[in-house]
A and B are shown apart, each in its own frame.
Chain A
Amino acid sequence: MEVTETWYLLLSAALFTIGMIGFLIRRNPLIMFMCVELMLNAVNISFVAFSDVLDDLSGQSAVFFVLVVAAAEVVIGLSLVVMLYRRKSKVSVDDLAELRG
């Protein structure tokens, strides 16, 4: 059986959906954070797949941008999570609703 681009796209869609659902239903900030990363990398897979199909390198270079931005985001996001754990031992994001309207 030959592996075509459809497989990659299906993998990408599956990973994205898993990340999205995880983000929506979990309460733990660290897990939600990982879900966001999952979604970003799902998109990266589809970028690479299309880059191969269209024989265009710009898709792969876009992936590098995503990686760089994700790395920066991880730094800030993780430090926020650590700060949260310092204040409360057991954290649910629903507790962080101080900015409720």
Chain B
Amino acid sequence: MLELSWLIPASPLLGFVLLVVFGKRLGEPVAGWVATIFSFISFIATVFVFFGLKSLPTEERFHIEKLFNWIDSGSFSVDAGLLVDPLSVTMCLFVTGVGTLIHLYSIGYMHGDANFSKFFVYLNLFIASMLLLVLGDNLLITFLGWEGVGACSYLLISFWFEDKDNASAGKKAFVTNRVGDFGFMIATFLVFTSIGSINYDDIAADASTISGVTATAIVMLFVLAATGKSAQLPLFVWLPDAMAGPTPVSALIHAATMVTSGVFLLIRLNPLLAEADLWATGMISWIGAITAFVAATAAVSQNDIKKVLAYSTVSQLGYLFMAVGVGGYVAAIFHMITHAFFKALLFLGAGSVIHGMHHEQDMRKMGGLRPLMPITGFTFIIGWLAIAGVPPFSGFWSKDEILLYLWNADAVGGKYLWVIGLVTALLTAFYMTRQVLMTFFGEQNFETTGDHAVKPHESPKLMTIPLMILSGLAVVAGLLNLPLKNMHYLADWIEPSLFGNEVHLDTPNSTKWILALVAIAVGLTAIALAGSVYYKKRFNKVEPQFFADAWSIDSSYARFFGGPGRLVFDALSWFDRTVIDGLVKGVGKVSVVAGQSLRPLQTGYIRSYGLSIVIGTLAVAGWFIWRLFS
């Protein structure tokens, strides 16, 4: 059944083409249903491929479906091929699964929008690009998808581009990601020069022939690419602004799928990571740790319901980086999946609240919404418990797995990484409790009477059904990889994609129990703490402006690049204009000068042309005669 794999990216691509042509004519809501169906076909195909792969013996679960030869130039040959292995299929499953649910939700959420069908054009193109990114069997196909999702992200963030803020938020995301993309490109060139191929199977086979220094350089450049796409320090600044897009977009692209592609890339390249120096992989963990902590503190002080979730996403992605850096690939994928479920759920819940509150996003003007929006409230609370790490919800299991790896990461960070992870977990539970209390409990802080009265209402079924499905998944996803004997389903399943590079821990059970209990205690403490603070409305005491500005990182970038950084850009621009453009223009100038100086030869007198023919003929004849007699 692996032959079906081409259908996975092709189906949403077909949907995209159909909607580009007929979208306007189909209109609302048919265009949305068409997009949803094509996304769903992709999901079904993925399920078939999953079972096809599962029926193979473990060592054969690395299937390359070559479609055609794409580029063939000298020793550089790239096939358009799909790599079907446990890692890519796992990614495809949750991309298409969550993607379809969010398509469905969007039909309700985008109701009445002037550009209804355009939204679904972009959404289908996004799904197709994301699947190409995940399924590509070489770095170039992945890069194609990588740029595709970047472009869709840009288009969807600035979907309501009539507002200047939205347009510039899209631009910011795009430009910031370009910084990372340059790392991706240079790293790809380096991989090609060192092993002569950019296919993942060749990389896995020949990674050990790359020298340690080169491997480290390649990994560092890929990490740069990943920090861009996965919103880590120093390139995380675009993600909070990306919340300018419609909420389903934030859920799909900026929480569940696209932002995990950086982590996916690093896991896919695990043979290279294994060859790189220890400090390089350690740095991945440290980038993640610092980002997780900074973003968590920022999330504590946000008042925009989506901004909290945005910083929370940055923070959780930091967790994934921490896990990847210490070799806990399965833990990273596990948390990636559970995070996709509960974060998509939280975003969609937030979208439902925004929808019900007539596009009010400030949590200070909400409160007491639970009785008015029972389904949204209930599912949001499940998402909250999952992300806060309360057992037995899924977030607890995956977060615990990562913390276990951090506990054993003495080589790169002593116990500091673990401590940062734990503090971040505490902050996570704290800000999520704060959000739930401010939104769903307490007094109603909006006007219920008068001219500006808001009458919150539950969202339509189209929006609540995806919420219910996702909340179900957020509860049970922990079963994928329980830390019990013979229940490491995910670990056993992913293993063929990791080539034995996964770090295996042999922590005694007693330690595991203690660590788990500590994590639970921390989570519950944070919830209690937040409860005591926010039930009594002591807002400002724990929310310094410094945190609300996310440690002023974004504004200092702006100040630097507007001030001293400007000089560097001016110098570069001067170099470009004089040296680079000078070379290009110089070539043209040489032709012009040569032409000008040869012009006088064309006198326009036929006799002079005739004379030159005669002279030429005589010269040639003379040459032959001279040869004859000498």
Q: How far is the CA of A24 from the CA of B611 in the complex (A)?
A: 7
CA distance A97 to B609 in the complex (A): 12
Q: Which residues of A contact B606 (CB under 8 A)?
A: 32, 93, 96
Digitize A79-101: 1 where CB-to-B-CB distance is under 8 Å, 0 elsewhere. Answer: 00000000000000110111111
| Complex CA distance for A6 and B292, rounded to whole angstroms | 103
Asked if B564 is at the interface of the complex by the 8 Å CB criterion, the answer is: no
Q: Which residues of chain B in 601-630 are interfacial with respect to chain A, using CB atoms and an 8 Å cutoff? A: 601-607, 610-611, 614
Within 8 A of A (CB), among B577-604: 598-604
A97: which B residues are within 8 A, CB to CB? 603-605
Q: Which residues of B contact A101 (CB under 8 A)?
A: 598-604
What are the 5 tightest A-B residue pairs by CB atom distance, in nearest-first order? A97-B604, A101-B602, A100-B604, A101-B599, A93-B606
A25 to B606, CA, bound (A): 10
Closest to A29 in B: B606
A98 lies within 8 A of B604 (CB):
yes
Q: Supply 29 A–B pairs (Cβ within 8 Å), ascending by A.
A: A20-B610, A20-B614, A23-B607, A23-B610, A24-B607, A24-B611, A24-B614, A25-B607, A32-B606, A93-B605, A93-B606, A93-B607, A96-B604, A96-B606, A97-B603, A97-B604, A97-B605, A98-B604, A99-B602, A99-B604, A100-B602, A100-B604, A101-B598, A101-B599, A101-B600, A101-B601, A101-B602, A101-B603, A101-B604
* Residues of A contacting B599 in the complex (Cβ-Cβ under 8 angstroms): 101
Measured in the bound complex, the distance between the Cα atoms of B610 and A49 in whole Å is 27
Across the interface, do B605 and A94 meet the contact criterion of CB distance under 8 Å? yes
Give A33 to B614 CA distance when docked, in angstroms.
17
Taking the nearest CB of chain B, how far is it from the CB of A73, in angstroms?
15
Nearest residue (CB) in B for A36 is: B610
Chain A 9-25 interface mask (CB, 8 Å, partner B; 1/0): 00000000000100111
Residues of chain B within 8 A of A20, CB atoms compared: 610, 614
Complex Cα–Cα for A100 and B611 (A): 16
Question: Once A and B bind, how many residue pairs between them come within 8 Å at the CB atom?
Answer: 32
Most buried by A among B601, B605, B606, B611: B606
What is the CB-to-nearest-CB distance from A31 to chain B, in angstroms, rounded to a whole number?
Answer: 12
Set of chain B residues within 8 Å of A98, measured between Cβ atoms: 604
Q: How far is the CB of A9 from chain B (nearest CB, A)?
A: 15
For residue B598, which residues in chain A have a CB less than 8 angstroms away from its CB? 101
List residues of chain A with CB within 8 A of the CB of B603: 97, 100-101
Task: Assess the B610–A24 pair: CB atoms within 8 A.
Answer: yes
Give complex CA distance A38, B607 in Å: 17
> CA A24 – CA B600 in complex, angstroms?
20
Query: Which residues of A sit under 8 angstroms from B607, Cβ to Cβ?
Result: 23-25, 93
A101-B598, A101-B602 are known; give 13 further A-B pairs, CB within 8 A. Answer: A20-B614, A23-B610, A24-B614, A25-B607, A32-B606, A93-B606, A94-B605, A97-B603, A97-B605, A99-B604, A100-B602, A100-B603, A101-B599
Distance A39 CA – B599 CA, assembled complex (angstroms)? 30
CB distance from B600 to the nearest CB of A (A): 6
Tell me the complex Cα distance, A96–B609, Å. Answer: 13
Q: How far is it, in angstroms, between the C-alpha of A10 and the C-alpha of B248 when the chains are bound?
A: 97
Q: Which residues of B contact A94 (CB under 8 A)?
A: 605
Bitwise, B469-486 to A at CB < 8 A (1) or not (0) is 000000000000000000
Return chain A residues, CB-CB under 8 Å to B604. Answer: 96-101
A7 to B30, CA, bound (A): 96
- The residues of B that contact A24 with a CB separation of less than 8 Å are 607, 610-611, 614
Question: Please, which residues of chain B bring their CB within 8 A of the CB of A32?
Answer: 606
With a CB–CB cut-off of 8 A, which chain B residues contact A100? Answer: 602-604
Q: How many Å lie between the Cα of A100 and that of B614 in the bound state?
A: 20
Give the Cβ gap from B20 to chain A, nearest Cβ, in Å.
51
CB distance from A66 to the nearest CB of B (A): 18
Smallest Cβ-Cβ distance to A95: which chain B residue: B604
Residue of A nearest to B596 (CB): A101
Distance in angstroms from B605 CB to nearest chain A CB is 6
Contacts of A93 in B (CB 8 A): 605-607
Residues of A with C-beta under 8 A to B602:
99-101
Instruction: Say how far A24's CB is from chain B's closest CB, in angstroms.
Output: 5
- Give bound CA distance, A101 to B604, whole Å: 7
The A23-55 residues at the B interface (CB cut-off 8 A) are 23-25, 32
Give the CA-CA distance A20 to B610 in the complex, in Å.
9
Nearest-neighbour CB distance to chain B for A6, whole angstroms, equals: 18
A96, A97, A98, A101 interface centre (most CB from chain B within 10 Å): A101
Q: How far is the CB of A58 from chain B (nearest CB, A)?
A: 22
- Cα A96 to Cα B611 with chains together (Å): 17
Chain A residue at minimum C-beta to C-beta distance from B599: A101
Minimum CB–CB distance for A25 against chain B, Å:
7
Using CB atoms, name the residue of chain B closest to A35: B610
Complex Cα gap A24–B606 (Å): 8
Query: Complex formed: what's the CA distance from A99 to B614 in Å?
Result: 21
Q: Which residues of B contact A23 (CB under 8 A)?
A: 607, 610
Contacting residues, chain A, for B610 (C-beta < 8 A): 20, 23-24
Closest-CB distance, A71 to chain B (whole angstroms): 22
Nearest B residue to A100 by beta-carbon distance? B604
Task: Give the complex CA separation of A26 and B599 in angstroms.
Answer: 25
Cβ contacts under 8 Å, B614 to chain A: 20, 24
Cα–Cα distance between A94 and B607 once the two chains are bound (Å)? 9
Residue of A whose beta carbon sits closest to that of B600? A101
What CA separation (Å) do A20 and B524 show in the bound complex? 110
Question: Could you tell me the distance in whole angstroms from the C-beta of B591 to the nearest C-beta in chain A?
Answer: 15
In the assembled complex, the Cα of A25 lies from the Cα of B603 at a distance in Å of 16
Q: How far apart sit A83 and B204, CA to CA, in the bound complex (Å)?
A: 78
- Bound complex: CA of A93 vs CA of B610, how far in Å? 13
CA distance A100 to B604 in the complex (A): 4
Chain B residues contacting A96 (CB-CB under 8 Å) are 604, 606
CA distance A101 to B601 in the complex (A): 7
Closest partner residue, chain A, to B607 (CB atom): A24
CB proximity of B580 to chain A, nearest CB, Å: 33
Bound complex: CA A58 to CA B394 (Å) = 96
Contacts of B605 in A (CB 8 A): 93-94, 97
- Complex: chain A residue closest to B608, CB-CB: A24
Shortest Cβ gap from B123 to chain A (Å): 61
Measured CA separation A23–B611 after assembly (Å): 9
In whole angstroms, how far apart are the Cα atoms of A70 and B54 in the complex?
82
Q: Inside 8 A of A25's CB, which chain B residues have their CB?
A: 607
Docked CA distance A25–B599 (Å): 24
CA distance A98 to B600 in the complex (A): 13
Question: Inside 8 A of A99's CB, which chain B residues have their CB?
Answer: 602, 604
Closest A residue to B606 by CB, please name it: A93
